[in-house]
Amino acid sequence: MPEAIFEYYINILGELNIPMTLRDLDFNKDDVEMLIDGTLAQQRLLSLSPKMIKRNDLRFLFNQMI
């Protein structure tokens, strides 16, 4: 069932031409460090996270999203 919901959601995004990756928004691997810096600058939001966010965690996530 969760896979069906995921597929349904992905199909809707495709039909609406909504970007699904950072590459769809014209970001590439060269932008990862800038994205990390921008994220780490958001201390007001990061302070609410139950887990301490590290550069390497963000690097992994952003590289997966490109």
**Residue showing tokens 């201390």:** 43
Please report the pLDDT score of residue 64 as a whole number.
96
Identify the band that residue 2 occupies on the pLDDT scale cut at 50, 70 and 90.
confident
For the stretch 8-44, pLDDT in tens is 999 999 999 999 999 999 999 999 999 999 999 999 9
Global confidence as pTM: 0.77
Chain center to CA of 58:
9
Q: Which pLDDT score, from 0 to 100, does residue 37 have?
A: 98
How many Cα atoms sit within 13 Å of 14 on the Cβ side?
6
Note the pLDDT of residue 1.
Answer: 77
